[in-house]
Amino acid sequence: MKKLFTTLAISAIVSLPLTSISTVTHAAAVDGPKVDWNLSMWGKPRGFTKGIEALSEEVSKQTDGNFNIKVHYGSTLSKPKENLDGISLGAFQMAVTCMSYHPAKVPSGTVLDMPFIPFKDMYQQADAHDAVLNHPQILKEFKRWNAVPVMPALLPNYVP
């Protein structure tokens, strides 16, 4: 049941439009019980974490505060190489993972670590990352850890 709820909640989050909505009067985009999730992140808040912070804020806003994602920095919940283990054990509900930190856990995901992939711009890079993260093999590898990839974190310094 917990796994089903997690899958449904992630599906709801992913389907939320990441646009502003009027604050006059609105209904929550997702109606349900109050849920608080913990997200494991290594390091301090920085440019790389802006997407996660925006996701956390937007999910809370779209659900009228019924679904909250608290970002825990500085490896307080888990070491960077153990984030998938923490999800698998149920220690926390979300984490930022870097597939090159633990290539044996999601081996197919390391295709994105190949050097000199000739992305012409950030849009092409985003499309490639989305295609890889939605590939059945990647989803199968994440499923072993009771995890679902939600979104990539793109680093602009790797694109010409």
- Shared domain for 108 and 63, answered yes or no, is no
- Shared domain for 89 and 106, answered yes or no, is no
Instruction: Tell which of 78, 96, 114 closes a domain.
Output: 96
pLDDT band at 115 (very low <50, low <70, confident <90, very high): confident
- Shared domain for 144 and 157, answered yes or no, is yes
- Shared domain for 89 and 111, answered yes or no, is no
pLDDT at 12 over 70: no
Alpha carbon 114 to its chain's center: 21
| Percent with pLDDT over 90 in the chain | 59
- Shared domain for 56 and 111, answered yes or no, is no
- Shared domain for 147 and 110, answered yes or no, is yes
- Shared domain for 106 and 138, answered yes or no, is yes
- List alpha helices for 16-118, DSSP H: 50-62, 83-89
- Shared domain for 59 and 91, answered yes or no, is yes
- Shared domain for 92 and 106, answered yes or no, is no
Write out pLDDT tens, residues 61-92: 999 999 999 999 999 999 999 999 999 999 99
- Position of tokens 């009067």? 25
Give the burial string for 114-133 (b: 16+ CB within 10 Å, else e): eeeeebeeeeebeebbeebb
**Containing structural domain, residue 116:** 99-160
- Shared domain for 66 and 111, answered yes or no, is no
Q: What is the CATH number of the domain that holds 38?
A: 3.40.190.10
The model carries a pTM of 0.76
pLDDT at 3 over 70: no
Domain count of the fold of the chain: 2
